[in-house]
Structure 1
Amino acid sequence: MAKGDPASDMTPMAHLFIYKVFFLKVKCIGADLYAAIDQAIKDGVDIISMSITNDHNATFYQDSISSGSMVAIQHGIIPVAVAKNDGRPIMGTLSHSAPWVLTVGASTTNRKITSIVELGDGTTFLGESAYQPTNLNSNYKW
């Protein structure tokens, strides 16, 4: 709804389409998700990224992300969803496990890779980075 240039980062020619399917009072119901996927198909998207979770014990036909993603696949669209395993690495805690959905999970590490950012005026800030220095000792026991 904002005016201006399209949002872009690593792929400067990419265009983003944002669809709202979660509403505070009713949460996310399947009909809203199906409507968003239908609209994404009409808009001609290549990838649908869904950061929405549901019951991790849902069967494929109960999981609107899994069933909606099947339709997306049939239109050549790659569906991506969050795993939401609640931080419990045990069987049965994964959501959106349909084989036609690219399911992505987060992880944590037991190390902190610090980085210093220096501004033009010489001010420095300590932060974190995903940058791996060439002299990193991967055999070090944390």
Structure 2
Amino acid sequence: MIMNKSLNDAGMKRVPSRWKGICEEGEKFNKSNCNRKSIGARWYVKGYEAEFGNLDTIDGSEFLSPRDAYGHGTHISSIASGAIVKDTSFFGLARGLARGGTPSSHLAIYKVCRATGGCSSADILAAFDDSIHDGVHVISVSLGTSSPLPTYVDDPLSIDSFHVVARRIAVVSSCGNFGSYPQTVINTAPWIISVAASTIDRVFPTSIMLGNNQTFVV
């Protein structure tokens, strides 16, 4: 199995002695997939199957394991604390150095959602509880309820995050992918650090040649 370069543990310190987490095995995922970077991995499906029925993995679009079938979790983990990767690009564009926000941080993975987008509140709560036990310092959770937002006491993510913030564990979440329109921000609970997207001062021009041999820079 090819390891994502952002999860390379070269130069990483040893796993903290206070760490109580596990590297849970499953479909196409074993203990060798954990290292000094990804020090823990768990996956949750009991809540999902109780709510939506048995999870079908025959077509290979999902795995009964911590393995990421869709790529969203790997993407978010890399943004948060991906290792330094040299000479990377997006199909040749923006070539340079890629790194996460804190490359020296350890990662623990808690897979609670499916590639189809289905998530169970019970699975999410179980993951938050396990993260407390395991000894994490920060939880990055890229999930949220779509608008109109429920009250805090009816929103599972608000309840779960309050549960861990009360134990001095920071929770960082996304503000959502819908905007810029009124009332599209999600994860507004005051105890959550909500992060929004922004713009950059860079452009990525590239040449496109049409069938008539005309070339345009866009």
> Quick check: TM above 0.5?
yes
> 2:173 aligned with 1:99, yes or no?
no
> 2:33 aligned with 1:6, yes or no?
no
Q: Deviations over 1:75-103 (max 9, x none)?
A: 1100111101502242x211110100001
Q: For the residues of structure 1 that align with 2:158 and 2:144, how far apart are their CA atoms?
A: 11
Q: Which of 193, 196, 199 does residue 108 from structure 1 map onto?
A: 199
Q: For the residues of structure 2 that align with 1:82 and 1:4, how far apart are their CA atoms?
A: 27
Runs of 4+ in 1 over 6 A off after TM superposition: none
Is the Cα contact below 8 Å between 1:73 and 1:79 reproduced in 2? yes
Q: For the residues of structure 2 that align with 1:24 and 1:16, how far apart are their CA atoms?
A: 21
Q: Which of 171, 190, 201 does residue 79 from structure 1 map onto?
A: 171
Q: Which of 156, 160, 166 does residue 68 from structure 1 map onto?
A: 160
Is the Cα contact below 8 Å between 2:36 and 2:106 reproduced in 1? no
Bigger Cα displacement from structure 2, 56-65 vs 75-84 = 56-65
Distance 1:64-1:89 versus aligned 2 partners, 3 A rule: same
Is the Cα contact below 8 Å between 1:50 and 1:80 reproduced in 2? yes
Q: For the residues of structure 1 that align with 2:115 and 2:103, how far apart are their CA atoms?
A: 32
Distance 1:113-1:47 versus aligned 2 partners, 3 A rule: same
Secondary structure at the aligned position of 1:49 is classed as strand
Q: Deviations over 1:56-114 (max 9, x none)?
A: 32221222111101011111100111101502242x211110100001111224x4256
Q: Which structure: greater helix fraction?
A: 2
Provide the residue aligned with 1:21 in structure 2: 112
Q: For the residues of structure 1 that align with 2:103 and 2:115, how far apart are their CA atoms?
A: 32
Q: Which of 40, 43, 48 does residue 139 from structure 2 map onto?
A: 48
5+ residue gaps, structure 1, are: 115-142
- What is the RMSD of the two structures over their aligned residues, measured on CA atoms? 2.4
Secondary structure at the aligned position of 1:97 is classed as coil
Secondary structure at the aligned position of 1:28 is classed as coil
**Offset of residue 25 of structure 1:** 5.8
5+ residue gaps, structure 2, are: 1-29, 39-81, 84-101, 205-218
Q: For the residues of structure 1 that align with 2:119 and 2:130, how far apart are their CA atoms?
A: 16
**Offset of residue 23 of structure 1:** 2.1
| TM-score normalised per structure 2 | 0.46
Q: For the residues of structure 2 that align with 1:89 and 1:26, how far apart are their CA atoms?
A: 23
| TM-score normalised per structure 1 | 0.68
Give the letter aligned to residue 81 of structure 1.
S
